[in-house]
Protein backbone atom coordinates (compact mmCIF):
# COMPACT_ATOMS: atom_id res chain seq x y z
CA UNK A 1 0.00 0.00 0.00
CA UNK A 2 1.43 3.38 -0.92
CA UNK A 3 1.20 6.22 1.55
CA UNK A 4 0.69 9.77 0.46
CA UNK A 5 4.03 11.34 -0.21
CA UNK A 6 4.99 8.74 -2.79
CA UNK A 7 7.16 6.30 -0.81
CA UNK A 8 6.00 2.89 -2.11
CA UNK A 9 7.58 1.04 0.84
CA UNK A 10 5.69 2.94 3.56
CA UNK A 11 2.11 2.05 4.26
CA UNK A 12 -0.58 4.39 5.49
CA UNK A 13 -0.72 4.80 9.26
CA UNK A 14 -4.04 3.99 10.92
CA UNK A 15 -2.92 5.24 14.34
CA UNK A 16 -4.70 8.60 14.10
CA UNK A 17 -7.99 7.28 12.73
CA UNK A 18 -10.96 7.32 15.11
CA UNK A 19 -11.90 3.72 14.33
CA UNK A 20 -10.76 1.37 17.13
CA UNK A 21 -10.37 -1.44 14.59
CA UNK A 22 -7.98 0.70 12.52
CA UNK A 23 -6.04 1.72 15.65
CA UNK A 24 -5.77 -1.92 16.69
CA UNK A 25 -4.54 -2.92 13.24
CA UNK A 26 -1.85 -0.26 13.56
CA UNK A 27 -0.48 -2.28 16.48
CA UNK A 28 -1.07 -5.90 15.45
CA UNK A 29 -2.27 -5.85 11.82
CA UNK A 30 0.84 -7.47 10.40
CA UNK A 31 0.57 -11.28 10.46
CA UNK A 32 3.99 -11.82 12.02
CA UNK A 33 2.92 -9.68 14.97
CA UNK A 34 -0.13 -11.80 15.63
CA UNK A 35 1.92 -15.01 15.37
CA UNK A 36 4.53 -13.59 17.76
CA UNK A 37 1.74 -12.82 20.24
CA UNK A 38 0.37 -16.35 19.77
CA UNK A 39 3.79 -17.76 20.64
CA UNK A 40 4.15 -15.38 23.60
CA UNK A 41 0.92 -16.84 25.00
CA UNK A 42 2.56 -20.26 24.71
CA UNK A 43 5.42 -19.09 26.90
CA UNK A 44 8.04 -18.10 24.33
CA UNK A 45 10.01 -15.05 25.46
CA UNK A 46 13.38 -15.11 23.73
CA UNK A 47 14.39 -13.99 20.26
CA UNK A 48 15.79 -17.39 19.27
CA UNK A 49 12.61 -19.15 20.47
CA UNK A 50 10.42 -16.91 18.31
CA UNK A 51 12.77 -17.30 15.36
CA UNK A 52 12.80 -21.09 15.63
CA UNK A 53 9.02 -21.30 16.04
CA UNK A 54 8.19 -18.97 13.17
CA UNK A 55 11.08 -19.45 10.73
CA UNK A 56 11.17 -15.67 10.35
CA UNK A 57 14.20 -13.69 9.16
CA UNK A 58 16.09 -12.13 12.09
CA UNK A 59 15.75 -8.56 10.77
CA UNK A 60 11.97 -8.97 10.33
CA UNK A 61 11.62 -10.52 13.80
CA UNK A 62 13.60 -7.67 15.36
CA UNK A 63 11.31 -5.10 13.65
CA UNK A 64 8.14 -6.90 14.73
CA UNK A 65 9.32 -7.33 18.33
CA UNK A 66 10.31 -3.65 18.48
CA UNK A 67 6.93 -2.57 17.13
CA UNK A 68 5.10 -4.76 19.67
CA UNK A 69 7.21 -3.23 22.46
CA UNK A 70 6.51 0.30 21.14
CA UNK A 71 2.78 -0.50 20.95
CA UNK A 72 2.83 -1.65 24.59
CA UNK A 73 1.89 -5.30 23.94
CA UNK A 74 5.30 -6.71 24.92
CA UNK A 75 7.83 -5.55 27.46
CA UNK A 76 11.56 -5.96 26.86
CA UNK A 77 13.43 -7.33 29.91
CA UNK A 78 17.17 -7.84 30.11
CA UNK A 79 18.07 -11.38 31.18
CA UNK A 80 21.81 -11.32 30.37
CA UNK A 81 24.35 -8.50 30.52
CA UNK A 82 27.23 -10.42 28.88
CA UNK A 83 26.30 -10.75 26.14
CA UNK A 84 23.37 -8.32 26.36
CA UNK A 85 20.17 -10.31 25.80
CA UNK A 86 16.53 -9.39 26.27
CA UNK A 87 13.37 -11.39 26.61
CA UNK A 88 9.93 -10.26 25.54
CA UNK A 89 7.08 -10.60 28.03
CA UNK A 90 3.39 -9.89 27.50
CA UNK A 91 2.11 -6.71 29.15
CA UNK A 92 -1.44 -6.27 30.43
CA UNK A 93 -2.33 -4.80 27.02
CA UNK A 94 -0.79 -7.84 25.34
CA UNK A 95 -2.59 -10.26 27.65
CA UNK A 96 -5.88 -8.55 26.75
CA UNK A 97 -5.29 -9.74 23.16
CA UNK A 98 -5.91 -13.41 24.08
CA UNK A 99 -9.69 -13.33 23.37
CA UNK A 100 -8.94 -11.89 19.92
CA UNK A 101 -6.58 -14.81 19.21
CA UNK A 102 -9.15 -17.30 20.47
CA UNK A 103 -11.82 -15.72 18.26
CA UNK A 104 -9.47 -16.00 15.25
CA UNK A 105 -8.72 -19.62 16.16
CA UNK A 106 -12.44 -20.50 16.35
CA UNK A 107 -13.22 -18.62 13.14
CA UNK A 108 -10.33 -20.36 11.35
CA UNK A 109 -11.47 -23.78 12.59
CA UNK A 110 -15.03 -23.08 11.46
CA UNK A 111 -14.18 -21.78 7.98
CA UNK A 112 -10.64 -22.71 6.95
CA UNK A 113 -9.85 -26.16 8.32
CA UNK A 114 -11.19 -28.67 5.79
CA UNK A 115 -8.93 -31.37 7.31
CA UNK A 116 -10.39 -30.72 10.77
CA UNK A 117 -9.30 -28.78 13.84
CA UNK A 118 -5.57 -28.86 14.55
CA UNK A 119 -5.81 -26.60 17.62
CA UNK A 120 -8.78 -26.18 19.95
CA UNK A 121 -9.54 -24.29 23.13
CA UNK A 122 -10.26 -26.52 26.12
CA UNK A 123 -11.42 -26.09 29.69
CA UNK A 124 -8.21 -26.38 31.74
CA UNK A 125 -9.99 -28.29 34.48
CA UNK A 126 -12.07 -30.76 32.46
CA UNK A 127 -10.29 -30.91 29.10
CA UNK A 128 -13.64 -30.39 27.38
CA UNK A 129 -13.48 -28.42 24.13
CA UNK A 130 -14.76 -24.87 24.51
CA UNK A 131 -16.56 -22.87 21.88
CA UNK A 132 -15.91 -19.16 22.27
CA UNK A 133 -18.71 -16.66 21.87
CA UNK A 134 -18.60 -12.94 22.41
CA UNK A 135 -21.12 -11.85 25.06
CA UNK A 136 -22.21 -8.59 26.59
CA UNK A 137 -20.75 -8.45 30.10
CA UNK A 138 -23.83 -6.59 31.44
CA UNK A 139 -26.60 -8.80 30.08
CA UNK A 140 -24.75 -12.05 29.35
CA UNK A 141 -26.42 -12.11 25.91
CA UNK A 142 -24.37 -13.18 22.86
CA UNK A 143 -23.27 -10.23 20.75
CA UNK A 144 -24.99 -11.09 17.46
CA UNK A 145 -26.74 -8.93 14.90
CA UNK A 146 -29.36 -7.62 14.67
CA UNK A 147 -29.75 -7.57 18.47
CA UNK A 148 -26.44 -5.66 18.70
CA UNK A 149 -24.71 -3.27 16.29
CA UNK A 150 -21.74 -0.91 16.23
CA UNK A 151 -22.54 2.70 17.14
CA UNK A 152 -20.65 5.97 17.47
CA UNK A 153 -19.21 6.47 20.94
CA UNK A 154 -19.00 9.63 23.04
CA UNK A 155 -15.62 10.66 21.53
CA UNK A 156 -16.73 10.15 17.91
CA UNK A 157 -16.14 12.94 15.41
CA UNK A 158 -18.75 13.96 12.82
CA UNK A 159 -17.42 11.55 10.19
CA UNK A 160 -17.59 8.60 12.59
CA UNK A 161 -21.08 9.62 13.74
CA UNK A 162 -22.23 9.62 10.10
CA UNK A 163 -20.63 6.22 9.46
CA UNK A 164 -22.32 4.66 12.50
CA UNK A 165 -25.65 6.50 12.36
CA UNK A 166 -28.51 4.17 13.22
CA UNK A 167 -30.31 2.84 10.17
CA UNK A 168 -33.50 4.65 9.29
CA UNK A 169 -36.35 2.56 10.60
CA UNK A 170 -39.23 1.90 8.24
CA UNK A 171 -42.69 3.09 9.31
CA UNK A 172 -44.43 0.55 11.53
CA UNK A 173 -47.40 0.36 9.20
CA UNK A 174 -48.05 1.77 5.79
CA UNK A 175 -51.69 2.23 4.85
CA UNK A 176 -52.71 0.30 1.76
CA UNK A 177 -54.46 2.01 -1.12
CA UNK A 178 -57.80 0.69 0.20
CA UNK A 179 -57.30 2.02 3.76
CA UNK A 180 -57.68 5.65 4.70
CA UNK A 181 -54.56 7.26 6.09
CA UNK A 182 -54.76 7.93 9.87
Classify domain 20-97 by CATH architecture: Orthogonal Bundle (1.10)
pLDDT per residue as tens digits for the range 33-90: 999 999 999 999 999 999 999 999 999 999 999 999 999 999 999 999 999 999 999 9
CB 167 within 8 A of CB 28: no
Mean pLDDT for the stretch of residues 123-128: 97
User: How far apart (Å, rounded) are the C-alpha atoms in residues 33 and 152?
Assistant: 28
Helix, strand counts (H, E) of the chain: 7, 2
pLDDT score of 46: 97
Sketch the domain layout of the chain as residue ranges.
20-97
Asked whether residue 176 carries a pLDDT value surpassing 70, the answer given is no
User: How far apart (Å, rounded) are the C-alpha atoms in residues 11 and 4?
Assistant: 9
Of 96 and 30, the one with more pLDDT: 96
By C-alpha distance, which of 74, 78, 126 is closest to 97? 74
Q: What is the Cβ-side half-sphere exposure of residue 172, based on CA atoms within 13 angstroms?
A: 1
Give the rounded distance of the alpha carbon of 178 from its chain centre: 54
pLDDT per residue as tens digits for the range 134-171: 999 999 999 999 999 999 999 999 999 999 998 877 65
* Per-residue CA distances from 115 to 74, 76, 119 (Å): 33, 38, 12
Of 176 and 32, the one with more pLDDT: 32
First-to-final CA distance of the chain: 56
Which uninterrupted H or E stretch holds 135? Answer: none
Amino acid sequence: MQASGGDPMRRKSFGNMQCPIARSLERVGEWWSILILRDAFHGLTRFDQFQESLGIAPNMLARRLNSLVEAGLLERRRYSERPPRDEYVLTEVGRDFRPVLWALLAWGNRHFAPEGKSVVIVDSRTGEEAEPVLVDRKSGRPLVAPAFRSAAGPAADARTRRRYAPPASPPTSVPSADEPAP
